[in-house]
Amino acid sequence: MSALTPFAKKHKVTVIGSGNWGSTIGKMVAENTAEHPELFERDVQMWVYEEQVEVDKKSKIYDESHELCKGSQKLTAVINTFHENVKYLPDIALPHNLVANPSLTDAVKNSSILIFNLPHQFIINLCKQMRGHILPFARGISCIKGVNVKESSISLFSETIGEELGIYCGALSGANIAKEIAAEKFSETTIAYDPPLVDSQAPTPATSQGPSPASSHVDLTKLAHKDASGKPSKVILKPLPAEYHPIDQDTIKKLFHRRYFHVRVVSDVAGVSLGGALKNVVAVAAGWVDGLGWGDNAKAAVMRVGLLEMREFGNRFFPHTVHPDTFTVESAGVADLITTCSGGRNHRCAKLSIMEGKSIEEIEARELNGQKLQGAMTAHEVHTFLKSQNAEKDFPLMTAVHNILMGTEKAENIPDLIEPEDE
């Protein structure tokens, strides 16, 4: 113990995912670890789903004499050599201390802070691969916009990750179109982070020897937290060893906040997560309305109904934890809805799909170069859950989006579907 001065260990940070948002978050986090050497290890690991890519001749980094610019190459090699994610975040210089790693288990090894940033359909499988390879006391932040539905149950990805890995996981969400933030244009975000007090800031049990040295003697069985729906969580959190600086709200803010990316830290994990997931469904409807050429008033009507349904969804299905104000006060609520329904990928692809008479999946494959939409999948998942609760009629917009995607309704009928004429 004598060799260990307080906070002798710095936090190692890993970003799991390297898409459009994953790479942007990796950029900001690596900028911050370099600026806070007292808290964090400088190098940030970024797990990359390995694939073959070609460096485009029009790209600024193209160098005809370089081996990696000839034919198809590993994405990780290209990122680590040219410090650019040519496929998912082209033309943005990444910090040299952001290290692409194709091995998930190696990328997360010894990391005390794990940032999850993947399309939601991939996360459970990845958590299973990570089990047994992470520090048991690690803390997580989920930047994933989606919900985890299994027939009649719904959970947030912060909860799912927490339960799969036995760690606490908060959530980051906001009006955050990645390519704008990567170009360092101003934006805000909301981070919900409220772990139970098992770390060194927790009041530790009094002993005859005086206060416990930082963290390690808390009775964890009494501290198992509740998940966002109010059910007792299966996770029994492990306290952070005393040699680490606490991973508190201040530490989390230092990890994400940039001059161009303003962070507000709150406690409402459920509200922040639901806002990010449900707005993607509304964005699909907004895209259709724009594609029909109905103008801004029509889109505003869809957004108004969508916001009310988002708030009602939180109140009804997460009554113990959602703070209804989150949807209107925080970037993770109405601000995200506005930006998504203007410049987001879900909106753009839905708009093109109706203009061209093609499915959203066809447009996604043609337009997004491997990036993944979350709106259509989330609409189906939310519908499965609403149906199981016999609540479809109380969420007419969410239900309409599902039915239109399924081809049993038409986007042209949205006005009647969201506000039946006899009401």
Ligand X SMILES: O=P(O)(O)OC[C@H](O)CO
Ligand Y SMILES: NC(=O)c1ccc[n+]([C@@H]2O[C@H](COP(=O)([O-])OP(=O)(O)OC[C@H]3O[C@@H](n4cnc5c(N)ncnc54)[C@H](O)[C@@H]3O)[C@@H](O)[C@H]2O)c1
> What is the set of active-site residues?
279
Q: Which of 45, 111, 176, 321 binds ligand X (CB under 6 A)?
A: 176
CB of residue 277 to ligand Y, shortest distance in Å: 8
Q: Residue 33 interacts with ligand X (CB under 6 A)? A: no
What one-letter code names the amino acid at 330? E
Q: Candidates 112-120, 125-133, 335-343, 377-385: pick the segment binding ligand X (CB under 6 A).
A: 335-343
> Starting at the edge strand that comes first in sequence, how are the strands of the sheet with 11-16 ordered?
98-101, 40-47, 11-16, 113-116, 139-142, 168-173, 187-192, 261-266
CB of residue 381 to ligand Y, shortest distance in Å: 13
- 240: CB partners within 8 A, 6+ apart: 112, 137, 139, 198, 199, 200, 215, 246, 247
Q: What DSSP designation does 333 have?
A: I
CB of residue 337 to ligand X, shortest distance in Å: 9
Residue 266 contacts residue 330 (beta carbons within 8 Å): yes
Report d(CA 259, CA 174) in Å as an integer: 16
What one-letter code names the amino acid at 15? V
Residue 169 contacts residue 144 (beta carbons within 8 Å): no
Q: Which does 119 bind (CB under 5 to 8 A by kind): ligand Y, ligand X, none?
A: ligand Y
Could you give the C-alpha distances from 48 to 23, 52, 88, 234, in angstroms and in order?
9, 12, 11, 30
Q: Residue 345 interacts with ligand X (CB under 6 A)? A: yes
Q: Which of 175, 322, 398, 405 binds ligand X (CB under 6 A)?
A: 175
Query: Half-sphere exposure of 378 toward its Cβ, with a 13 Å CA cutoff?
Result: 29
CB of residue 290 to ligand X, shortest distance in Å: 13
Q: Which does 246 bind (CB under 5 to 8 A by kind): ligand Y, ligand X, none?
A: none
Could you give the C-alpha distances from 298 to 285, 288, 304, 403, in angstroms and in order?
10, 10, 10, 19
Stretch 355-374: interaction string toward ligand X, x if CB under 6 A: -------------------x
Q: Which does 117 bind (CB under 5 to 8 A by kind): ligand X, ligand Y, none?
A: ligand Y
Residue closer to ligand X, measured from CB, 175 or 360: 175
CB of residue 105 to ligand Y, shortest distance in Å: 14
Residue closer to ligand Y, measured from CB, 304 or 372: 372
Tokens of 367: 């337009």
CB of residue 193 to ligand X, shortest distance in Å: 19
Residue closer to ligand X, measured from CB, 101 or 148: 148
Terminal Cα distance for the chain, rounded: 71
- The helix/strand/coil state of 31 is helix
Tokens of 413: 């009928």
Tokens of 352: 């093109």
CB of residue 145 to ligand X, shortest distance in Å: 5
Binding footprint of ligand Y on the chain (CB under 6 A): 17-22, 49, 88, 117-120, 122, 143-146, 176-178, 370-372, 374
Count of residues near ligand X by CB under 6 A: 13
Q: Which does 321 bind (CB under 5 to 8 A by kind): ligand X, ligand Y, none?
A: none
Tokens of 289: 């309305």
Q: Which does 49 bind (CB under 5 to 8 A by kind): ligand Y, ligand X, none?
A: ligand Y
Residue 50 contacts residue 76 (beta carbons within 8 Å): yes
Q: Which does 147 bind (CB under 5 to 8 A by kind): ligand Y, ligand X, none?
A: none
Q: Residue 340 interacts with ligand X (CB under 6 A)? A: yes
Stretch 211-240: interaction string toward ligand X, x if CB under 6 A: ------------------------------
Q: Which helix (H) or strand (E) holds 414?
A: helix 414-418
Residue 204 contacts residue 103 (beta carbons within 8 Å): no
Q: Residue 101 interacts with ligand X (CB under 6 A)? A: no
CB of residue 393 to ligand Y, shortest distance in Å: 28
Bridge partners (DSSP) of residue 85 are 89
Residue 171 contacts residue 117 (beta carbons within 8 Å): no
Residues 259-318 that bind ligand X (CB under 6 A): 280, 283
Selection from 175, 35, 44 nearest residue 107 by Cα: 44
Q: Which does 88 bind (CB under 5 to 8 A by kind): ligand X, ligand Y, none?
A: ligand Y
Q: State the residue number with the nearest CB to ligand X.
A: 344
Q: Which does 37 bind (CB under 5 to 8 A by kind): ligand X, ligand Y, none?
A: none
Q: Candidates 162-170, 203-211, 300-308, 338-346: pick the segment binding ligand X (CB under 6 A).
A: 338-346
Report d(CA 99, CA 106) in Å as an integer: 12
Residues that bind ligand X (CB under 6 A): 145, 175-177, 280, 283, 336, 339-340, 344-346, 374
